[in-house]
Amino acid sequence: MQEIAIIGGGLAGLTAAITAAEGGAPVRLAEAHAELGGRARSADGPYKANLGPHVIYKDGPLWAWLRERDLLPPSAGTPLGGIRVRWDGELRRTPPLASIPTVLRLRGRDAPIDRSFRDWVRDHSDERTAAMLSAAGGVYTFHHDPGELSAAFVWPRTVRALLNPPPVARYVIGGWSALVGTLAARARALGVRIETGARIEELPAAPVIVATELADARRLLGDDALRWPSGSTVCLDLGLRHHRGDPFVVSDLDEAGWVERFTAADPSLAPDGEELVQAQMPIRPGETADGAATRLERLLDQALEGRRERETWRRRQVMQGRSGALDMPGTTWRDRPAVDRGDGVFLAGDMVAGPGLLSEVAWASATEAARGALALVHRSGPPQRTVART
């Protein structure tokens, strides 16, 4: 039987490998980095800061898929206290009360594809509420102005990520590398041959699943059309000595930034007596990363009392086009680069045509890519299913 080749060992590549191997095909996965996980890797050392993903949503398909296979890593729920918002330059305990009737009115409504989120909210309320709700989307869009995105993109994600009572976000204990380890073990148990430190420069023979970031796929496939809007943001990860009264989350309703103390959910992410804080500020058009970082430092000064004197560790990253797909008005996930490229080549990742929130897109496109590749290798007969619990 033909082997399915997978390029990239992040969440998408590992999902595709497991799905293809469960379907009975021989699978080989090549990962350029020395370690698996891609953006889902956590830092080595005492501060387990994730490179990309932070939370996994337990109402989503990725969670259900993991649970079905007994692959869910230990996780923690969302701490209920310590939430603050920055609004009109002030740190507050509640969002503007005037916005609540609008949120209640919009809940359960289908937002239109062809209107911007800001315009749609303004139709139902006022400019201030539209600006506030737009900026709240910064946490999962990593975009300086989520209000300009399609209302159908922003609203359901805002409801899932921020307005669900009780919250559906779960924190992987020990960081996302724990989940990557579980997925890799499952893939190996199914017979997937995994090679790390193996950068692929030329497309191998089909069937092949390219599970890299879109820019890498563009180069590998030599297809300049593989483009889609994404966020651009400065991320700062900080180790801080513990201070009673530090908030858990600060949602920045002025500038679409976000500050989160991850040790509030999982104290194992930092050494005893210390906190791990991860924060991000989207970069505005024409602004430098340093400019956005300066705005982020100001937000952190407001959010965390005496934090400069308490700092024990820091890491700064600029995430340009690396935080998932964004749909502009008039477009949906179906308009993104298609999974099936023809001739036995498939794309998977968080910038291609798949539904869901953040890494769920990588998962959804990876399962579709694997099904497509399986259909090719099983042309002569129906696929065998070998789903077994580990």
Contact residues toward ligand FAD (CB under 6 A) are: 7-13, 30-33, 38-40, 52-56, 199-200, 211-213, 216, 220, 235, 319, 322-324, 349-350, 358-359, 362
- Please answer whether residues 236 and 278 qualify as being in contact, where contact means their C-beta atoms are separated by less than 8 angstroms: yes
Instruction: Report how far residue 259's alpha carbon sits from residue 261's, in angstroms, rounded to the nearest whole number.
Output: 7
Instruction: Please give the order of strands across the beta sheet that includes 208-210.
Output: 193-195, 27-30, 4-7, 208-210, 345-347, 340-342
Give the C-alpha distances (Å, rounded to integers) separating 79 from 30, 167, 266, 318: 38, 9, 10, 28
Q: How far is the CB of 149 from ligand FAD (least distance, A)?
A: 16
Nearer to ligand FAD, 99 or 230 (CB): 230
Q: How far is the CB of 68 from ligand FAD (least distance, A)?
A: 18
Neighbours of 339 (CB within 10 A): 23
- Please answer whether residues 282 and 143 qualify as being in contact, where contact means their C-beta atoms are separated by less than 8 angstroms: yes
Nearer to ligand FAD, 58 or 86 (CB): 58
- Please answer whether residues 37 and 180 qualify as being in contact, where contact means their C-beta atoms are separated by less than 8 angstroms: yes
Nearer to ligand FAD, 200 or 253 (CB): 200
Nearer to ligand FAD, 102 or 230 (CB): 230
Q: How far is the CB of 51 from ligand FAD (least distance, A)?
A: 7
Q: How far is the CB of 142 from ligand FAD (least distance, A)?
A: 6
Nearer to ligand FAD, 87 or 258 (CB): 258
Nearer to ligand FAD, 33 or 124 (CB): 33
Q: How far is the CB of 362 from ligand FAD (least distance, A)?
A: 4
Q: How far is the CB of 305 from ligand FAD (least distance, A)?
A: 25
Q: Quote the radius of gyration of the chain (alpha carbons, Å).
A: 21
- Please answer whether residues 286 and 279 qualify as being in contact, where contact means their C-beta atoms are separated by less than 8 angstroms: no
Nearer to ligand FAD, 30 or 259 (CB): 30
Nearer to ligand FAD, 322 or 336 (CB): 322
Q: How far is the CB of 303 from ligand FAD (least distance, A)?
A: 18
Instruction: Report how far residue 142's alpha carbon sits from residue 101's, in angstroms, rounded to the nearest whole number.
Output: 26
Q: How far is the CB of 126 from ligand FAD (least distance, A)?
A: 31
Rounded to the nearest 5°, which phi and psi values hold at 126? -145, 175
Nearer to ligand FAD, 22 or 31 (CB): 31
Q: How far is the CB of 184 from ligand FAD (least distance, A)?
A: 12
Q: How far is the CB of 54 from ligand FAD (least distance, A)?
A: 4
Nearer to ligand FAD, 134 or 323 (CB): 323
Which of 34, 25, 35 is closest to 5 using CA atoms?
25
